[in-house]
Amino acid sequence: AQKVTQVQTEISVVEKEDVTLDCVYETRDTTYYLFWYKQPPSGELVFLIRRNSFDEQNEISGRYSWNFQKSTSSFNFTITASQVVDSAVYFCALGVGGSEKLVFGKGMKLTVNP
């Protein structure tokens, strides 16, 4: 069975702080995909990134970076110099090869205060 755990449920930081959102996954499949989604207060779900199990390269996109480590089954997300607009609920999700379904973590609410 697949499982995604987001240990932190809520984090509050002050603007310009760096913040890391943790995601730990469980699967026995060797082919899988990991995702991060953002849900701002307006409610829509926005796709941020996808990583496949064969690519452990970390990725940086502007202030966002992702650290994928198969050895610890983790796919962590870091926001550098956080901004108020980063305030949202962030979801980590797992999809396995041969299945079209995603399993989501319970989400982590980030509040960035001015």
- The SS3 assignment for 49 reads strand
Stretch that binds other proteins, among 20-28, 57-65, 78-86, 105-113 (CB under 8 A): 105-113
* Distance (Å) of CA 33 to CA 48, 62, 88: 13, 22, 23
In the chain, the amino acid numbered 97 is G
Question: Applying CB under 8 A, does 10 fall inside the site for other proteins?
Answer: no
**Smallest separation, CB 106 to other proteins (Å):** 4
Vertex 74 angle, CA 94 and 62, to 5°: 90
Tokens, residue 38: 């953002």
Kind and range of the H or E element at 104? strand 102-104
Question: Applying CB under 8 A, does 64 fall inside the site for other proteins?
Answer: no
Question: Applying CB under 8 A, does 3 fall inside the site for other proteins?
Answer: no
Stretch that binds other proteins, among 10-18, 21-29, 35-43, 71-79 (CB under 8 A): 35-43
Stretch that binds other proteins, among 21-29, 57-65, 78-86, 97-105 (CB under 8 A): 97-105
CB atoms near residue 42 (< 10 Å): 7
Question: Applying CB under 8 A, does 5 fall inside the site for other proteins?
Answer: no
Residues contributing to the site for other proteins (CB under 8 A): 33, 35, 37, 43-45, 47, 50, 52, 91, 95, 100-102, 104-107
